[in-house]
Amino acid sequence: MRDFYPDDVRLQNWLFDTWRAVSRSFGFEEYEGPIFEFLDLYRLKSGDEIVNELFNFTDRGAREFAIRPEMTPSLARMVAARANALPRPIKWFSIPRMCRAEKPQRGRLREFFQWNLDVLGVEDPLADAEVISAAVAFFRACGLTSQDVMMRISHRGVASAALAKHGIPRELIPQAFAVIDKFDRLTPEAFTPMCAERLGADVSAEALRELVTTATMDDCLELATQDGPAGIVDATALRQLWGHLESMGVADVCTFDLRIVRGLAYYTGSVFEAHARQGGLRALCGGGRYDDLTGLLDGPRVPGVGFGMGDVPMIECLKQLGKLPDPGDSIDVFVIDTDASLLPQMLEIVADLRSAGLRADFSYKRTGVGKQFKQAGGRGARYALIVGDELAERGEVTIKDLRTGQQQTVAAAELRQRPVEWLGGV
């Protein structure tokens, strides 16, 4: 589990502020859910991969719970409970803290925060395009381009049709997805026996490898349209999604990739993951369309699409690319006294500055002016305010701009009346 020292929290605040700003600029509203849920919510809806990574416990009433490993089941539960009352489209985002008992590695920890952005109540691929655009808008806000990250997109229906046309029996397609989901992480030597074990001897690992690595979107759309009415619907949705991504100006960061199938059980349509182009990090974000999840929770059918993005892989990626911002810890003013006897007046001034909304600090030790200036620098102060003998003599204090080095004297009464004008605006 994680400790967050102030430096870590400062960076995290920057990340959360950026996630929130992007979400709001796309018209999404924030929600929250509980830190744990009934274990069954995940056991029945998320699929084996998540269930094997749960931190679960039994309470004194012998009820089984799990700390949330993802947000989507809670979201679907909340939406299903008020499905008839919520105005559509439901455009919600959240930044939940969650836990998965996975082996900690670069970009994956047991405890993490995950930006979730989802649209519910809309079947139109416009919603898929909008959530993907929001993820790309966030990458751009961090200074990342198509040189740095790629959103890899596929569609489970279109992929099923392509697999079926390549001889994978329909009933084995969920198994084939599970194998393909591991493709990027497995060596060729490990991929072949896994194919044989999960898909039987009749399916050629080589043919599957060839298909998922070389098939273009046009190839797959063609195969899907030959696959009956459902295939035509899926192909149309994928084609429309691509058109919208182009209109929204994010197509340069997007690529069709049949290797993206996603590990979670509830996806029904588009599926996507963003990956850093270099550095071998696992996915930066992942999501897709889940049209049956609220129905599985015994609620009315409310289609949905969205993604989750982890704080850990995102910070790791920015660090690797040298794009980590430096959200320095700055204050407006550090107040310095030139003599211990001035402490009471100095504290009065500090209190005034703080109640005017300025970020003001001072030294706990009555030390030399030089040392206090050093402390002011260490706190990243924009101004130093020097309270010295001239306060008693002429009612004046001195302001030093620590960026320019310029110094000026001001009447203490004037400063106390309009502190923000003199010391604000860092």
Q: Which residues sit at the interface with ligand HAM, rule CB under 6 A?
A: 70-72, 100, 102, 108-109, 112, 114, 116, 118, 264, 283-288, 306-310, 312-313
Residue/partner pairs of 378-383 with CB below 8 Å, 24 or more apart? 379/329, 379/330, 379/331, 379/334, 380/328, 380/329, 380/330, 380/331, 381/330, 381/331, 381/332, 381/333, 381/334, 382/330, 382/331, 382/332, 382/333, 382/423, 382/426, 383/332, 383/333, 383/334, 383/423
Residue 112 CB, shortest distance to ligand HAM, in Å, is 3
In degrees and rounded to multiples of 5, residue 218 shows phi and psi of -60, -40
Residue 75 CB, shortest distance to ligand HAM, in Å, is 7
Residue 275 CB, shortest distance to ligand HAM, in Å, is 9
Nearest residue (CB) to ligand HAM, 231 versus 306: 306
Residue 284 CB, shortest distance to ligand HAM, in Å, is 5
CA gap 378, 364 in Å, rounded: 14
**Residue of minimal Cβ distance to ligand HAM:** 310
Q: Which helix (H) or strand (E) segment is 354 a member of?
A: helix 343-355
Residue 147 CB, shortest distance to ligand HAM, in Å, is 20
Nearest residue (CB) to ligand HAM, 231 versus 287: 287
Residue 40 CB, shortest distance to ligand HAM, in Å, is 17
CA gap 293, 205 in Å, rounded: 32
In degrees and rounded to multiples of 5, residue 147 shows phi and psi of -70, -25
Nearest residue (CB) to ligand HAM, 40 versus 339: 40
Q: Cis (ω within 30 of 0) for the bond into 89?
A: yes
Residue 271 CB, shortest distance to ligand HAM, in Å, is 9
Write out the DSSP string of 39-54. HHHHHHHT-HHHHTT-
Nearest residue (CB) to ligand HAM, 96 versus 419: 96
Tell me the sheet residues that pair with 287: 272, 307
Nearest residue (CB) to ligand HAM, 307 versus 362: 307
Residue 247 CB, shortest distance to ligand HAM, in Å, is 23
In degrees and rounded to multiples of 5, residue 167 shows phi and psi of 90, 10
Contact partners, residue 272, CB within 8 Å, separation at least 6: 132, 151, 152, 153, 154, 260, 286, 287, 288, 307
Nearest residue (CB) to ligand HAM, 277 versus 374: 277
Nearest residue (CB) to ligand HAM, 118 versus 148: 118
Tokens of 5: 């020292």
